Amino acid sequence: MTGAAEDLRRTACGGSAHGGSAHGDSAHGDSAHGGSAHGDSAYGSLPRKEDARFIRGKGTFVDDIQLPGMLHGAILRSPLAHARIVSVDTTAAQAHPQVEAVITGQMLAERGLAWMPTLSRDVQAVLATDKVRFQGQEVAFVVARDRYSARDALELISVEYEPLPPVIDAERALDPGAPVIRDDLPGKADNHIFDWEAGDQQATDAVFAVADVVVAQDMLYPRVHPAPLETCGAVADLDPVTGKLTLWSTSQAPHAHRTMYALIAGLPEHKIRVISPDIGGGFGNKVPLYPGYLCAIAGTMLTGRPVKWVEDRSENLMSTSFARDYHMHGEIAATADGRILGLRATVLADHGAFNATAQPSKFPAGFFHIFTGSYDLQAAHCQVTAVYTTKAPGGVAYACSFRITEAVYLVERMVDLLARELGMDPAELRMKNLLRPEQFPYTGPTGWEYDSGDYPRALRLAMEMAGYDELRREQARLRERGEYIGIGLSFFTEGVGAGPRGQMDILGLGMADGADLRVYPTGKAVLGISVQTQGQGHETTFAQIVAQELGISPEDVEVVHGDTDRTPFGLGTYGSRSTPVSGAATAMVARRVRERARIVAAAMLEVAPADLEWAGRRWQVRGDPDQARSMAEIAMAAHSALELPDGVEGHLDASMVYNPPNLTFPFGAYICVVGVDPGTGEVTVRRFIAVDDCGVRINPMIVEGQVHGGLADGVGMALMQAIVYDENGNCLGGSFMDYLLPTSAECPSWELGTTVTPSPHHPLGAKGVGESATVGSPAAVVNAVLDAISPFGVRHADMPLTPANVWSAIQGRPQRTDLAVT
């Protein structure tokens, strides 16, 4: 089936005029790195195993789960951004005939459950007790027999609030006399969270002092929201007899969640089972613990029955982890002929009412200090100040690779602004400054060690695919006719696959992930991994890795994930870490199995293990192909009565924990072509060329799918997405009518290219890719729009570049997009 299906796909799915699948200069992109040199590779664009259930509508998402006696929960949320809670009266709600329980903050407080730790070592209210601190904050939880009654009962709860002034403008949050939001923290007298810096300030200042050209720009990366199509939710079921809590939830990190529930709720960890069933998209939105999950747990503890809580879309947009909200000031220093010397950035980070960002704990501003980008700089320095505001908590989410989205946007805008200042073509300026292949591995001015890359080759390929020179000529011709197209570039370096554990932990849990592999007597394999797919195709890709290492078919490998009872511990899927970390763990554990198989095969063939060589699908005696054993034969023997030598105890099972030595550094060159109608400000994305290099690609089809999705994110963020609050603290982005997402009509047909620069430290030479396109694309779209309207004297305008904003920018009045329009 494999070969035929793959042929079918390749010949029939190509589609676009620019070549459907990878159009690249690499002939080796699809082949394995190291490992097997013979026979059919298990790598390639294998159709996905998980599709069988989804195309039939037979997936199991959290809201699909129905248990006997299950109750439904609903959350009452604050309509105010900042207020004291005077009283909460649940009498009428409790009297509703379908209501089983009503839980308040007070009730949770009596059990020590009203507050929970966040992933950034702050605390967050599960249900508010003293104050509410953002519109949409959780105040009470109703448990009823059906979801409609739960919703009705919310209206029967009476809360008396004493309004307080909200803090909406992050730039005012540290003003003397600003209302103090976090008076729950002992001694807290302001809205400051932390300061953080990286790089060498002195060296950077020195470089700026002698530069011929310095360009400075304020820019905003607006508050956006990942908005996976499936909202967050959980079904909590505490078995009163065994005391075991089973929690189905939309979690990208089920093991980490299990440990946190044990710590928060005081439940023994071995009596907690967290199951992430099918998840309808994560994008970082499903990494944190949310009050609703804790409420569902409290509900099942109280009622002794399963309790389901699934949020509405408005709840998702207004209370779960948003992304970005970085107010950045960038400066770039260069020589007169376009050699970039240094970069500086200061950032004001709006974290909302609680510091609940999810990133490795030693990096409170995530990996923002990779803002030096893909260029050969002498010095750089950045400084981040984080503040509280009366808005939903969050900030690290939405395929950001821990703030690399913000970093890449900043540097790619600064490079374009420098090009504008110098009168240089932005592609030429980039080409002049990109790191050269011979500089790798490269340690940058803020400490990152990039593993491998050939940047100029990727940029050249993108320009060739785009027909860059012809596009510039066309742009000139159209301008003479009063028509405006823009060509925007973005070159990005990503850092993904967090680990190593010594540097990277979340709440003290080291970011190393396990894999365990069992091979059954008939040669079928079951792989348990700790990462959690939300659509990335792990059931297929990881089967391919095992298949490749063991010389068996991917059909003979079952991938188990998402159930903490059945899989090894790990920190989950986000930050594009699945292939770099769990992919490595999988390859390594499969190699351990293969080495055990060597010893068994040697016993079967009555030779020494050193006499055998791996022939792609079999262990065979060197130089004697007739003396060989396949993995299936070896597996049966490993379970048999065969006398085994030292070094193998029997069976072929193995487990390991992979501690990555470094991140992996995928990169890419993107070119976006837009048309702008200056009379209305409307933008059309005409073309988008994306060259990505994520090292060895195990399943190119899946890789390309990941890129496609991220490119749509770029169009959306650049042109239409923003969560904005008005001066009273009302969230103006609380529905899909207000928070606009791109549809098939706004997206062009993506044109993809590939180069392959393997990672030298990854066992497969692979790098992550899931977030690359989201990281790289917004700058390309923004640079394109600004390029289109530069004849009108526009230097910069912030995302989202809505028609109103574009037109206003053309009039010389670009909008401030973090505040409500006035």
Partner 1 sequence: MQVPAHVDYEKATSVEHALALLARFGPETRVLAGGHSLIPMMKLRLAQPGTLVDINGLSELSYITVTEGELRIGALTRHAQLLASAAAGAHFPILHDAEQVIADPVVRNWGTIGGSLCQADPSEDLSAAFAALQASMLIQGPAGSRIVPAREFHTGPYETVVASAELLAEIRIPVRPGGGSAYQKVGRRVGDWPVCAAGAAIWLSGDTITAAGIGLTAVGAPSFAAAEAEDFLRGAPATEASFRRAGQIAAEHCHPVSDQRGPADYKRHLASELTSRALAVALRRAQERELAGDQQPAQGEDERQGDGRVPGRGGVPGRGGAPGKGGAPGKGGPPGKERVQGKGRVPGKGQEPGKGRAGPRGA
Partner 2 sequence: MQITVTVNGIPCTREVEPRLLLIHFLRDELGLTGSHWGCDTSNCGACVVWLDDTPVKSCTVLAAMADGRRVLTVEGLGRAGRLDPVQEGFAACHGLQCGFCTPGMMMTARWLLDHHPDPSAEQIRAALSGQICRCTGYENIVRSVLWASRHEAGQHGAGQHEAGQHEAAAPRAAGPGAGETRGALP
The interface with partner 2 within residues 282-301 (CB under 8 A) comprises: 283
Determine, following the binding rule CB under 8 A, whether residue 48 of this chain makes contact with partner 2.
Answer: yes
Structure tokens, 757? 């620069």
Q: How many CB atoms lie within 10 A of CB 680?
A: 11
Instruction: Return the one option of partner 1, partner 2, none that residue 796 interacts with (CB less than 5 to 8 A, by type).
Output: none
Determine, following the binding rule CB under 8 A, whether residue 771 of this chain makes contact with partner 2.
Answer: no
Interface segment toward partner 2; rule CB under 8 A; list 62-70, 90-98, 322-330, 520-528:
62-70
Q: Whose Cβ is closer to partner 1: residue 609's or residue 675's?
A: 675
Determine, following the binding rule CB under 8 A, whether residue 638 of this chain makes contact with partner 2.
Answer: no
Positions in 482-521 near partner 1 (CB under 8 A): 483-484
The nearest distance, CB 685 to partner 1, in angstroms, is 8
- C-alpha dist (Å) from residue 385 to 185, 326, 412: 19, 10, 22
SS3 33: coil
- Using a 10 angstrom Cβ sphere, with 0-12 exposed, 13-18 middle and 19 or more buried, the burial of residue 707 is buried
- Our CA angle for 454, 446, 412, nearest 5°, is 55
- C-alpha dist (Å) from residue 35 to 43, 516, 590, 622: 12, 19, 11, 17
Determine, following the binding rule CB under 8 A, whether residue 586 of this chain makes contact with partner 2.
Answer: no
* Binding residue for partner 1, selected from 147, 273, 472, 651, defined by CB under 8 A: 147
Determine, following the binding rule CB under 8 A, whether residue 731 of this chain makes contact with partner 1.
Answer: yes
Q: Whose Cβ is closer to partner 2: residue 22's or residue 107's?
A: 22
User: What's the CA gap between 784 and 675, in Å, rounded?
Assistant: 9
SS3 62: helix
Q: Whose Cβ is closer to partner 2: residue 673's or residue 712's?
A: 712
Positions in 143-182 near partner 2 (CB under 8 A): 147-148
Q: Whose Cβ is closer to partner 1: residue 426's or residue 733's?
A: 733
Structure tokens, 662? 């470094």
Site string for partner 1, 64-103 (x = CB under 8 A): ------------xxxxx-----------------------
Determine, following the binding rule CB under 8 A, whether residue 309 of this chain makes contact with partner 2.
Answer: no
Positions in 223-262 near partner 2 (CB under 8 A): 226-231, 246, 248
Instruction: Return the one option of partner 1, partner 2, none that residue 536 interacts with (CB less than 5 to 8 A, by type).
Output: partner 2
Determine, following the binding rule CB under 8 A, whether residue 639 of this chain makes contact with partner 2.
Answer: no
Determine, following the binding rule CB under 8 A, whether residue 51 of this chain makes contact with partner 2.
Answer: yes
Q: Which residue has the tokens 């055990």?
A: 596
- Taking each helix axis from N to C end, the angle separating 772-789 and 803-810, rounded to the nearest 10 degrees, works out to 40
User: What's the CA gap between 280 and 282, in Å, rounded?
Assistant: 7
Determine, following the binding rule CB under 8 A, whether residue 143 of this chain makes contact with partner 1.
Answer: no
CA atoms lying within 13 Å on the CB side of residue 764: 36
- C-alpha dist (Å) from residue 290 to 138, 161, 170: 10, 23, 24
Which residues have CB under 8 Å from 463's CB, separation 6+?
A: 427, 469, 669, 671
Closest CA to 712 of 281, 253, 230, 220: 281
Q: Which helix (H) or strand (E) holds 329?
A: strand 322-334
Determine, following the binding rule CB under 8 A, whether residue 815 of this chain makes contact with partner 1.
Answer: yes
Determine, following the binding rule CB under 8 A, whether residue 474 of this chain makes contact with partner 1.
Answer: no
User: Do 584 and 593 form a contact (C-beta atoms < 8 A)?
Assistant: no
Determine, following the binding rule CB under 8 A, whether residue 673 of this chain makes contact with partner 1.
Answer: no
Positions in 101-140 near partner 1 (CB under 8 A): 135-136
Site string for partner 2, 91-130 (x = CB under 8 A): ----------------------------------------
Determine, following the binding rule CB under 8 A, whether residue 727 of this chain makes contact with partner 1.
Answer: no
- Using a 10 angstrom Cβ sphere, with 0-12 exposed, 13-18 middle and 19 or more buried, the burial of residue 174 is middle
Which letter does DSSP use for residue 172 in this model?
G
Determine, following the binding rule CB under 8 A, whether residue 796 of this chain makes contact with partner 1.
Answer: no
Determine, following the binding rule CB under 8 A, whether residue 753 of this chain makes contact with partner 2.
Answer: no
Determine, following the binding rule CB under 8 A, whether residue 15 of this chain makes contact with partner 2.
Answer: yes
User: Do 321 and 352 form a contact (C-beta atoms < 8 A)?
Assistant: no
Residue type, 187: G
Determine, following the binding rule CB under 8 A, whether residue 713 of this chain makes contact with partner 1.
Answer: no
- Mind giving me the DSSP string for 358-416? -S-TT-TTTTGGGTTTTB--SEEEEEEEEE--SS--EES-SS-TTTHHHHHHHHHHHHH
Which residues have CB under 8 Å from 401's CB, separation 6+?
A: 366, 367, 494, 495, 496, 575, 576, 771, 775
Determine, following the binding rule CB under 8 A, whether residue 640 of this chain makes contact with partner 2.
Answer: no
- C-alpha dist (Å) from residue 453 to 185, 706, 767: 46, 20, 11
Interface segment toward partner 2; rule CB under 8 A; list 84-92, 273-281, 543-551, 595-603:
273-281
Interface segment toward partner 1; rule CB under 8 A; list 8-16, 174-182, 404-412, 802-810:
802-810
Positions in 602-621 near partner 1 (CB under 8 A): none
Q: Which residue has the tokens 């600004």?
A: 786
Instruction: Return the one option of partner 1, partner 2, none that residue 155 interacts with (CB less than 5 to 8 A, by type).
Output: partner 1
Instruction: Return the one option of partner 1, partner 2, none that residue 484 interacts with (CB less than 5 to 8 A, by type).
Output: partner 1
Instruction: Return the one option of partner 2, partner 1, none that residue 548 interacts with (CB less than 5 to 8 A, by type).
Output: none
* Binding residue for partner 1, selected from 424, 607, 628, 732, defined by CB under 8 A: 732
Interface positions with partner 1 (CB under 8 A) = 76-80, 135-136, 147-148, 151-152, 154-155, 157-159, 161, 163, 312-315, 318, 483-484, 675-685, 719-720, 724, 726, 728, 730-735, 737-738, 740, 742-743, 745-746, 802-804, 807-808, 815, 820-822
